């Protein structure tokens, strides 16, 4: 049977919610089976932040070029797993005019993401191409199968696109033991 990877544009909140729910269930299942958390009752599943991936703040500013460039890398602890189910870029100036000419909307500079596994990115898990899939309109690009990094795995996430910089928001979840980052009652 063929493995289906890649992306599609999602225009409904229901599609995004379904992808998010699928990822949450799989992350929890894996976290318990890998003993990253003592039990499902002792786990927290929360939104993935750029700082979870080694980013310096919670906004992912990406400097793009026409060749693949590293945006995040790191090695997970034995208490965390994370997954990514999509991405989006903010759309700026949708109605702005310069000298009577509409400005081209931002949100098209990052045209692809590549997810690698292992030291130096020895294995490519998936490549997502978002160009032409509605990013200029602010749509969410969803994956056909979420990218999941298991406990203690080394990850490398790369971007490619047009020259320049923009913010990229990876849509994902992270599972960890209660009290690690969040201590719910």
pTM of the model: 0.83
Q: How many domains does the chain have?
A: 1
Taking a C-beta distance cutoff of 8 angstroms, is the pair 86, 138 a contact? no
pLDDT reading at 37 higher than 70: yes
pLDDT reading at 98 higher than 60: no
In a domain, 167, yes or no: yes
In a domain, 185, yes or no: no
Coil, strand or helix at 68 = coil
Catalogue the E-assigned strands of 89-168: 97-98, 101-102, 110-117, 123-129, 140-149, 154-161, 164-167
Report the CATH number that the domain containing residue 99 is assigned in CATH.
2.60.120
Owning domain of residue 111: 7-177
- pLDDT recorded at residue 129: 82
In a domain, 183, yes or no: no
Measure the CA angle with vertex 114, ends 87 and 92; round to 5°. 35
Q: How confident is the model at residue 89 (pLDDT cuts 50, 70, 90)?
A: confident
Q: Which of 14-23, 24-33, 50-59 has the lowest mean pLDDT?
A: 50-59
pLDDT reading at 135 higher than 80: no
């Amino acid at each position: 049977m063929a493995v289906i990877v890649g992306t599609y544009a999602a225009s409904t909140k229901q599609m995004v919610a379904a992808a998010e729910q699928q990822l949450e269930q799989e992350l929890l299942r894996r976290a318990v089976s890998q003993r990253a958390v003592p039990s499902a009752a002792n786990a927290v599943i929360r939104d993935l932040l750029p700082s979870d991936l080694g980013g310096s703040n919670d906004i992912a500013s990406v400097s793009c070029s026409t060749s693949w460039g590293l945006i995040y890398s790191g090695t997970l602890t034995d208490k965390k797993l994370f997954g990514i189910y999509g991405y989006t870029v903010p759309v700026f100036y949708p109605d702005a005019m310069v000298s009577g000419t509409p400005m081209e909307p931002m949100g098209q500079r990052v045209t692809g993401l590549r997810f690698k596994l292992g030291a130096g990115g020895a294995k490519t898990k998936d490549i997502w191409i978002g160009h032409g899939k509605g990013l200029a309109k602010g749509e969410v690009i969803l994956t056909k199968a979420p990218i999941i990094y298991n406990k203690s795995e080394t990850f490398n996430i790369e971007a490619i696109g047009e020259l320049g910089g923009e913010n990229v928001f990876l849509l994902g979840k992270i599972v960890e033991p209660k009290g690690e980052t969040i201590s719910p009652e």
